[in-house]
Amino acid sequence: MREPATVASAPTPPESSGAPVMAGTSVRATALTPEPDPPELRAFVQARFVDIFLENSPRAQWGVLAAGGLMALIWSRSEPSAVPWIWWALVGAMTAWRIGQSARFVRSAPPGRQAGRITALLAFNGVLMSLPLAGFAAMSELQQAALSMILFAMATAGVATTSGQLRSFLAFSAPLLLPLAACWAFTPHPDESPLTAAGLSALILAFLGVLTAVGRQQHAVFQESCRIRFAEQRLNRELEAAIGRETEAHRAKTQFLAAASHDLRQPIHSMNMLVAALGLRELEPRAREIARLLGTVSQTLSGQLDALLDISRLDAGTVQPALAPVRLDELVSSHHQALQPVAAARGLECTLAGAPALAVRTDAALLLRVLSNLTDNALKYNQPGGRITLRTWRDGAQACVEVADTGIGIPLEEQERVFREFYQVGNVERDRTKGLGLGLSIVQRLCALLGARLGLQSAPGIGTTVTLRLPLDLSAPVPTPAPPQTPLRPGLKVLVVDDEAQVREGMRLLLTELGCQVHLAEGSAQAARIAADVPLDALLTDLRLRAGDSGLQVLREVQARQPGLRCALITGDTAPERLREARAAGVPLLHKPVSVEALIGVLGQAEAASPSPVSAGPA
C-alpha cells in the first residue's frame, strides 16, 4: 500500500507556479479575516441590547401613543366611521401592555431567545402603526403628507430604540415605510404625473436604505462600546482576583511570621534567661567572654524577631500610641548619649548639632523606636571614619528631628523601595548583621501612627538625611523623667507558668539570681492549686499553652483566688488576632525574648503594690 505523501505540506518555493501561488493568496486572505467574537462577548452584547431596549421601551411607547393619536385624527378626517378611534384604542392597549408586561415577556425567554421576542414585539408594533395607511387613498394630499411625516419620524426613532440592531430595526420600520412607498406609487394623483408619484415612492425606499445604513453604523458603535465595557469588566474581575490573591498572600505572610516568630522565640527566650542568669554570677575571664558573646548573638536574634513582631503588630492594628507631652530635645539628647559609645566602637563620629527646648505631643516610646531604627541604619551603612549627626530645630509650628550620615547613600530610583519590607540597599550578600530590611518599613508605619511627616534625601557616595516633622505642643507641662529602677526586694514570690520545661527552668534560674522565690506551673490547673496555697506577689504566664489551655485561663484561675495580683502575659506570638486578644486582657504584655529590664519593670510594680513584705509560705 502506498503511504500518503507528506512532502506536499512543506512550503513551496517562490519560483513555483500554479497552485502554490493560490495557496499563498489564500493564506493572506485568511490572515485578514477578523477573528469572531468569543461566545461570552456575544452573550454580553445580546444582554446589553435587551437591557437598553427594555430601559428605553416605556418612553418610546408614550411617543408611539402620541403619534397614534395624531394619525387617528388625520385618518378620521377622511373616514367618518369610528374605525380610526377604535384603532387608536388598540394602540393604547398595546402601549399599556408594553409598559406593564413587555419586560416580563422578554425576560421569561432563555437568554438566547430574548432578542427574538423583542423583534416579534417590534414587528407587531410596526404592523399595527401602519394600519391607517388603509385610508391613504381617501385622504387629501396634505393629510397624506402629514401621515407620511409621522411614519418617517417613527421609523427614524426606531434606529435609536433598537440600537441599530438590523433585524429588530427592520421588523419595526419596514412595515411602516414599505406600505407607505406602495401607497404613494399606486394611489392616483390627478394633478401630478405618474413619474412624480413613482419618484416619491423611490425616495421613501431610499430613505429606508439610509436609515438601514445609519442603523448598521450605530450598531457597530454599540458593539464596540460593549466590547470596551466587557473588557473593562473582565479587567476589573482580574484586578479583584489579583487583590484577593495579594490579600491572601499578605495574610499567609502574617501567619507565617507569627508561627515562625513564636517557634523561634521560645528557645531564644530560654537562652536569654540562661545568659542573663550566667551574667549575674562570678565567672572566670574566659567564661565571661563566652557569656558576653552569647549575649551579643542573643541580642542580634532578639532584634530581628522584634522587627518581625513590630511588623505583625502594626499590620494587626494593635499598636495604639499613648500621646503625651514629650521634651523632644531631651529625648534626642538621651539617645545621642546612648549612641555615642556604639558609634565610637565602629570608628564613627556621632555629634549632636543644636538642641533647643522643644515639646511635642507624641508617644515617647514609639518615637524613640523610630529614632533608633534610623540611627541603626546610619550605623550599618556607614564606614569607619564616617559621621552621624543628630539635629533638632523649630520650623514654624513644627519640631524637626534630623538623622544624617555620610554612608553609602541610596540611588534615586531606590528611595521609595527602601520603605518596603525586607528590601535592603547594598546588602546583596545578605549580611544578617545589617538586619532583615524591616527598619524603614517600621519607621514609615510608626510615623503614620504618630502623625509625623517623613522626608528622605540621599545621594550615592555622599550619605543620607532623614527628617521627621512633628507638630509642636506647648500647651501642657512636660512631665519629669521617671526615676531609675531600683533593685528588687529579696524574697518576692513569683509564679511562672509555661508549657515548656526549658523555658520554666530558664526563668527560674534568672529570677532566683534576682532574689525571687519562684514557683513553676505548666498549665492553669497546676497554677490554680499553687495560688490556692501560696500568697504570691506576681504572676508571669505564657499566652499560648498546650491542649487548648491558655494564659488567659491562667489569669482567670489565679486572680479568682488572689484578686489584685500583679500579672503579666508573655508571648512569642505575632498573630494579629492573638495579640488583640492579649491586649484586651488589660495586663502588661511582654514579648519573647523578654529582657531582664522588662522583667524587673513588671516585678518592680508588683513590689510597689505590696504594702508589706509577704510572709513566708511553702516553697
The pLDDT of residue 84 = 92
Q: For residue range 119-156, what is the model confidence (pLDDT) as tens digits?
A: 999 999 999 999 999 999 889 888 889 999 999 999 99
322 Cβ contact list (under 8 Å, min separation 6) = 363, 365
Average pLDDT over residues 605-612: 52
Q: Which helix (H) or strand (E) holds 391?
A: strand 387-395
The pLDDT of residue 15 = 40
Residue with cell 421609523: 155
- The answer to whether residue 423 scores a pLDDT higher than 60 is no
Half-sphere exposure of 409 (CA within 13 A, CB side): 11
Q: For residue range 408-422, what is the model confidence (pLDDT) as tens digits?
A: 887 876 667 666 654
- The answer to whether residue 270 scores a pLDDT higher than 90 is no
**CA nearest neighbour of 185 among 177, 173, 194:** 194
The pLDDT of residue 18 = 39
Rounded to 5 degrees, φ, ψ at 16 are -65, 155
Q: For residue range 211-263, what is the model confidence (pLDDT) as tens digits?
A: 999 989 988 888 888 888 888 888 998 999 888 888 787 777 666 666 666 66
516 Cβ contact list (under 8 Å, min separation 6) = 488, 491, 492, 493, 494, 603
Residue 34 banded pLDDT, cuts 50, 70, 90: low
Q: Considering only 93-102, 151-160, 470-479, 534-543, which range has the smallest mean pLDDT?
A: 470-479
Q: What is 322-471's CATH topology? A: Heat Shock Protein 90 (3.30.565)
* Cβ–Cβ < 8 Å for 582, 569: yes
- The answer to whether residue 453 scores a pLDDT higher than 80 is yes
Residue 300 banded pLDDT, cuts 50, 70, 90: low
540 Cβ contact list (under 8 Å, min separation 6) = 494, 495, 496, 497, 507, 567, 568, 570, 590, 599, 602
Average pLDDT over residues 329-358: 84
The three cell numbers of residue 263 are: 517557634
Q: Considering only 187-196, 260-269, 597-606, which range has the smallest mean pLDDT?
A: 260-269
The pLDDT of residue 303 = 60
The pLDDT of residue 13 = 41
* Cβ–Cβ < 8 Å for 521, 467: no
Q: How far is residue 481's CA from residue 102's CA, in Å, rounded to a whole number?
A: 80
- The answer to whether residue 444 scores a pLDDT higher than 70 is yes
- The answer to whether residue 72 scores a pLDDT higher than 50 is yes
* Cβ–Cβ < 8 Å for 350, 371: no
Higher pLDDT: 84 or 485? It is 84
Q: Rounded to whole angstroms, what are the CA distances from 306 to 395, 439, 603? A: 34, 10, 22
Average pLDDT over residues 313-323: 66
Contacts 24+ apart (CB under 8 A), 83-88: 84/132, 84/135, 87/131, 87/132
The three cell numbers of residue 327 are: 521634651
- The answer to whether residue 29 scores a pLDDT higher than 50 is no
* Cβ–Cβ < 8 Å for 435, 380: yes
Residue 306 banded pLDDT, cuts 50, 70, 90: low
Instruction: Work out the percent of the chain whose per-residue pLDDT is above 90.
Output: 18
Q: Rounded to whole angstroms, what are the CA distances from 69 to 65, 88, 89, 129, 203? A: 6, 6, 9, 11, 26
Task: Report which residue type is found at 407.
Answer: G
Q: Considering only 147-151, 160-164, 559-563, which range has the smallest mean pLDDT?
A: 160-164
Q: How far is residue 439's CA from residue 373's CA, in Å, rounded to a whole number?
A: 5
Higher pLDDT: 9 or 281? It is 281
Residue 177 banded pLDDT, cuts 50, 70, 90: very high
- Strand segments (E) across 396-500: 398-405, 453-459, 463-471, 493-497
Q: For residue range 484-530, what is the model confidence (pLDDT) as tens digits?
A: 555 677 888 999 999 888 788 888 888 888 888 999 999 999 999 99
- The answer to whether residue 576 scores a pLDDT higher than 70 is no
**CA nearest neighbour of 575 among 230, 369, 318:** 318
Residue 445 banded pLDDT, cuts 50, 70, 90: confident
Q: Rounded to whole angstroms, what are the CA distances from 577 to 234, 266, 277, 335? A: 35, 20, 33, 33
The pLDDT of residue 606 = 61
Q: What is 260-318+485-619's CATH topology? A: Rossmann fold (3.40.50)
Q: Rounded to whole angstroms, what are the CA distances from 508 to 271, 287, 518, 544? A: 13, 21, 6, 19
- The answer to whether residue 157 scores a pLDDT higher than 70 is yes
Kindly tell me the sign of the dihedral angle through the C-alpha atoms of 106, 110, 112, 117: negative
**Burial grade of 432 (CB within 10 A; 0-12, 13-18, 19 or more):** exposed
* Cβ–Cβ < 8 Å for 392, 358: yes
Instruction: Work out the percent of the chain whose per-residue pLDDT is above 70.
Output: 77
The pLDDT of residue 35 = 60
For the packed helices 439-450 and 364-380, what is the interaxial angle rounded to 10 degrees? 150
- The answer to whether residue 39 scores a pLDDT higher than 70 is yes
The three cell numbers of residue 467 are: 527628617
Higher pLDDT: 301 or 465? It is 465
Residue 431 banded pLDDT, cuts 50, 70, 90: very low
Residue 4 banded pLDDT, cuts 50, 70, 90: very low
